[in-house]
A and B are shown apart, each in its own frame.
Chain A
Amino acid sequence: MIELRHISKKYKDFTLDNISFSVDSGDYFVLLGESGAGKSLILEIIAGLIVPDKGEITLDGRNITNQKIQKRNIGLVFQDYTVFPHLTVKNNIAYPLKSRKFNKIAINRKIDELAEKTGIGHLLERRPDTLSGGELQRVALARTLALEPGCLLLDEPLASLDVQLRDGLRSLLRKINNEGITIVHVTHDYEEAIALADKVGIIHNGKIVQIGSPKEVFHKPKSKFIASFTGIKNFYNAVIKSDDIIILENKVKMEHALGKTQGSGFVMFRSEDIVISKSKIDSSMCNNFQGVVLDMIPTKRGMEVIVDIGIKISALITQKSADKYNLSQKCNVWLSIKSLAVKYIENY
């Protein structure tokens, strides 16, 4: 298990503040945050490249806070790969093994094993300047795995890869994790976190703002930042007026089932939880609004329809549905939202 307790660090103009989290042995932990949130800094502190001002780090109960980098047994795969340009792929993978004085036979056996696992057997004699980004990433991964690290740190490992390579590497990372290696992976892409993580931490401006399972974090975000960051676009200031009425942005009245009678905070609901129809539908849904389509934006998952009902609402439907209802800009539509789909976060 790797554990960070109250880690703080002032680094140039940036401050990491009281970072604490733990990752159980064999778990896949994803630290999610925007660029400049402090994700890479945390990894470099864990790896020992940067010394924290306060706090401590333990690996399997051993305090490694002030231990030398080369003695930590923590593998870090850098975002820019850092494959040694003057060594062949084979010699890159052999590098940590030679540092540990493995004999030649053991080195060759390990190289073959790692090359097979990461799918780079055909690249062993190549030099790094002849490899693609995806190949370099696999070489960096194989080289780090040669260390047999107690914990594997991955800095945006999928960021610069195209979709096809990303899927391949994602399944490789999952496979490595399934073999029992603890992984801490930092990213700005919440889809990566959903796809890989056993546990997700959200970091914002140098602070961890939420930790939990992906389901907890994405379905019960604890702040406006997390909600907007994780892609939930329908996010509004709200005032609860009674046990069943809540007013959004002082403009739109909604029914709710929050079990509260008063308070103010934020309301959010997912674009996928909205039903669009051409006329008002007769259903159990209490929240039905008439509005005008402002915009239609094709996305990876379908068509995002922006509707003005006094406030702008984002609804996500399939391309097939958009075609079926012949939706277009300026046409009138009805939106229906289940009360139970409405999430509310108290403003403290």
Chain B
Amino acid sequence: MKSNFNTLNLILIFLGGMALLFIVAPLLGMFLNTSSAEIIETTKDKEVQKSIWLTLSISFVSTITFAIAAIPLSYLLARRNFPAKRLVLGIIDLPIVIPHSAAGIAILGFISRDSVIGKIAAGFGLNLVGNPAGIAIAMAFVSIPFLLNAARDGFAAVPERLEKAALNLGASPARVFFTISLPLASRSIVSGLILMFARGMSEFGAVVIVAYHPMITPVLIYERFGAFGLSYARPVSVVFILVCLIFFVLLRMLVNENHKK
């Protein structure tokens, strides 16, 4: 029995190690093949700086803007039962399962000048295609399921009795939402926001169809690879990954610190 257990353990460790190596090896290879001089030179490249800043800012604005509608929807999904709820839950996960290039085509049709949205935007002198606003829509489309699902889980974990107790204490439903449900679900919501932000800024497939220019970093990496080859694309990738990691760690630390308080 003991011998079987040890054999099983060895198999599990071996397979687990392989899976981990599968994630780490390409990244490590990329870092090892990029010299520090190349990294420093890339960080000084104005085009790279501009594209990283553009990627981070559009993803941030996209996350915050779409969260305003996504968080109430998550609350409804956690708290209310309605006839088409299962259908709505399925729809929410759709952006995760469809190819992102196809998502880009769908969004392009949705925001092009011929569409209703496109015509409304054109009324304000705005062409969404090839515009940061179009990029934000594409980023939100592929990343919003992460926020919706995390926030829904967060709201579902808040005991309903606390909300009922607040109502019994004379609070309006809106006050209950903002003072009880939202703060108690905040950890999950913030996790969802971070995931949505991270997923949005790493999007390529949908964005490249909606807007090649202005160039966000994933598109810039693709362009450098297509025009100059692997050795030119690699330093940009390394710098972008480092920036993403720093942001991810900083946001996580900030969230944990706030929750400790």
- Contacting pair A70 B168 (CB below 8 A): yes
Chain B residues near A95 (CB-CB < 8 A): 166, 169, 171, 179
| From A69, A100, A146, contact of B164 by CB (8 A) | A69
Per-residue CB proximity of B161-192 to A under 8 Å, as 1/0? 11011111111100100011001100000000
- Contacting pair B161 A76 (CB below 8 A): no
**A contacts with B, residue count (CB < 8 A):** 22
Within 8 A of B (CB), among A225-247: none
Known: A82-B162, A99-B172. A70 touches B167 (CB 8 A): yes
Known: A85-B184, A86-B183, A99-B175. A78 touches B170 (CB 8 A): no
Cα A85 to Cα B170 in complex, Å, equals 18
- Contacting pair B168 A143 (CB below 8 A): no
Chain B residues near A78 (CB-CB < 8 A): 161, 165
30 residue pairs of the A-B complex, CB under 8 angstroms, read A48-B168, A49-B168, A69-B167, A70-B167, A70-B168, A70-B169, A70-B170, A70-B171, A70-B172, A78-B161, A80-B161, A82-B165, A84-B166, A84-B180, A85-B184, A86-B183, A86-B184, A95-B166, A95-B179, A96-B169, A99-B169, A99-B170, A99-B171, A99-B172, A99-B175, A143-B169, A144-B168, A144-B169, A147-B169, A147-B170
> What is the CB-to-nearest-CB distance from B182 to chain A, in angstroms, rounded to a whole number?
10
Within 8 A of B (CB), among A69-112: 69-70, 74-76, 78, 80, 82, 84-86, 95-96, 99-100
Question: Smallest CB-CB separation from A86: which chain B residue?
Answer: B183
Number of A-B contacts (CB under 8 A): 54
Cα A329 to Cα B93 in complex, Å, equals 71
**B contacts with A, residue count (CB < 8 A):** 17
Which residues of B line the A interface, CB within 8 A? 159, 161-162, 164-172, 175, 179-180, 183-184
> What is the CB-to-nearest-CB distance from A307 to chain B, in angstroms, rounded to a whole number?
48
Per-residue CB proximity of A167-185 to B under 8 Å, as 1/0? 0000000000000000000
Chain A residues near B166 (CB-CB < 8 A): 84, 95
Chain A CB within 10 A, most for which of B165, B166, B172: B165
> What is the CB-to-nearest-CB distance from A149 to chain B, in angstroms, rounded to a whole number?
9
Chain A residues near B159 (CB-CB < 8 A): 82
Chain A residues near B164 (CB-CB < 8 A): 49, 69, 82
Residue A4 interfacial (CB < 8 Å): no
Chain B CB within 10 A, most for which of A70, A76, A80, A146: A70
Chain B residues near A208 (CB-CB < 8 A): none
Cα A49 to Cα B160 in complex, Å, equals 11
